[in-house]
Structure 1
Amino acid sequence: MTRACLSALLLMFLASAAHADKLTVAVATNFAQTAAQIEAEFRRQTGTEVSLSAGSSGKLYAQITHGAPYDVFLSADVERARRLEQDKLAVSGSRFTYATGRLVLWSARLEKVDPGVLRAAQFNHLAVANPRIAPYGAAAFDVLNRLQVSPAVRARLVYGEDIGQTFQLAASGAADLAFVALSQLRSGEVAGAYWLVPPSLYRPIEQQAVLLQRAGHKPAARAFLDFLKGPRARAIMTRFGYIAPQPGP
């Protein structure tokens, strides 16, 4: 029997056992809209209710370490998921990469966005997510440093707590430009122009999921993570602009 068949059978078994359970999933803001689509499909198939709580990876990590009652953590990076596993706040061996994010430089006002806009510095404000707690913010600084424009634009930076707030700064006109996730532009009708930043300009935004210790006994939590690895979830992630891991042999 193939791994795909075994996974499907396991999902069906776990889903039937998990039907009455409710889950709480902490999800990095960049993935919130994508997770909502995945949750809807998972709920349709299993009947399991999943509550999503979005925020920056750093903020959610801090909440988890202080006892927040989440079952699953969908981080925007590797480091925080790894720390939870190392500190025995997550189930050992449950951590995996569910998607790789893509960074864009976006403006709701400008007709053209490219590296030349940054080099010319002909804008008032550039919004970035707080790099200390948001991996997409750290990736934005990678780009600014590799393009050697960081000193020129530093005084024009404005910060969002997470990638959602960063997007709103540019959408509202408080910033002329913003480094955001490609997925945010795929979430609906978004006006403006953007530059899809080449992956060579920033460290890979490898996003990892982990099962938290409090949910180690919950079949529904394991079923949700299995679903996240499956073809339906991967199709949704691809539609939102993520690079979804390919299934193993």
Structure 2
Amino acid sequence: MPGKIPALIGLLVCGHAWAAEVHVAVASNFSAPMKAIAAQFESDTGHKVLLSSGATGKFYAQIRNGAPFELLLAADDEVPARLEAESLGVAGSRFTYAIGRLVLWSARPDLIDSRGEILKKAAFEHLSIANPRLAPYGAAAVEVMKALDVFAVVEGKLVIGENIAQTYQFVHAGNAALGFVAMSQVYEDGKLKSGSAWTVPSHLHQPIRQDAVLLKKGKDNPAALELARFLKDHKARSTIRRYGYEVQGGS
């Protein structure tokens, strides 16, 4: 038995010899599911995932200025395409990891009706949305309000969050009566966690396709390469669905 201990230790050391670290920039709306996916990935592979959450537009500027991110999980499909075109993303590495759903939500359980009619009545003081210039969910919210012909009525009531996480906080803290947030922030396993909500019909805005792209700094990092593959795996896709997103293709 004593003779086997060094061999066992050697196997354990070898098993972790290839463990690496990957720095991931993830859109605010996908922060919660990505934490769950990262934990599973670390358990399965031994690699370490460092997550930074924020607005996709800000990440784009940071990556252009040399930020050390190796993989980007954006809130849209435009920024990853732009990074790939500018050779800051690895050519051919882009893929849609999730399709987001937009929800009009209030912390008050009696405020929002099942058809979103409250927008037409405009009987509220403040409505929160993410910055439409930086956050795709904010741009989608503006599309919805224009499609419903209510934007001119509510524009003066808007409270702009830097990203979708801050938008949620404004509503949760009562700084805004309601707001357009990501379904993943207020639903879990298909059930509304609190308050009242209207799930916005997808035809009222362009699809919120959320693309991932392997960045130039991560092209030789085994952890970055494996995580990109893992996001397409059935384990990750199951988690993504559980948080209220759609995924492309099969299981």
**Same fold per TM (> 0.5)?**
yes
Measured in 2, the distance between the counterparts of 1:26 and 1:68 equals: 10
Q: In structure 2, what is the equivalent of residue 145 of structure 1?
A: 146
Q: In structure 2, what is the equivalent of residue 13 of structure 1?
A: none
Matched, 1:193 2:192: no
What is the aligned-residue RMSD (CA, Å)? 1.6
1:17 Cα shift?
8.6
Q: In structure 1, what is the equivalent of residue 57 of structure 2?
A: 58
Matched, 1:222 2:225: yes
Which residue, out of 228, 241, 251, partners 1:238?
A: 241
**1:3-82 alignment, distance < 5 Å:** 19-82=18-81
Report if the CA contact (8 A) 2:19-2:45 is conserved: no
Matched, 1:168 2:181: no
Report if the CA contact (8 A) 1:129-1:162 is conserved: yes
Q: In structure 1, what is the equivalent of residue 108 of structure 2?
A: 109
Q: Unaligned regions of 5+ residues in structure 1, if any?
A: 1-15
1:112 Cα shift?
4.1
Report if the CA contact (8 A) 1:18-1:48 is conserved: no
Which protein shows a greater Rg?
2
Task: Provide the identity percentage.
Answer: 47
Report the number of matched residues: 233
SS in 1 for 2:193: coil
SS in 2 for 1:128: strand
Measured in 2, the distance between the counterparts of 1:88 and 1:17 equals: 32
Report if the CA contact (8 A) 1:39-1:50 is conserved: yes
1:162 Cα shift?
0.2
Give the AA of the match of 1:225: A
Q: How far does the alpha carbon of each residue in 1:94-134 deviate from its partner, in whole angstroms, 9 at most, with x for none? A: 00111100000000025141421000000000000000000
Q: In structure 2, what is the equivalent of residue 11 of structure 1?
A: none
Report if the CA contact (8 A) 1:108-1:171 is conserved: yes
Q: In structure 1, what is the equivalent of residue 4 of structure 2?
A: none
Q: Unaligned regions of 5+ residues in structure 2, if any?
A: 1-14
Measured in 2, the distance between the counterparts of 1:143 and 1:18 equals: 51
TM-score for the superposition, normalised by structure 2 = 0.89
> Where in structure 1 do 4 or more consecutive aligned residues deviate above 6 Å?
none
1:191 Cα shift?
1.8
Q: How far does the alpha carbon of each residue in 1:173-200 deviate from its partner, in whole angstroms, 9 at most, with x for none? A: 0000010000001369832000000001
Measured in 2, the distance between the counterparts of 1:67 and 1:226 equals: 24
SS in 2 for 1:229: coil
1:35 Cα shift?
0.4
Measured in 1, the distance between the counterparts of 2:225 and 2:149 equals: 44
1:245 Cα shift?
1.6
Report if the CA contact (8 A) 1:70-1:212 is conserved: yes
1:18 Cα shift?
8.1
TM-score for the superposition, normalised by structure 1 = 0.90
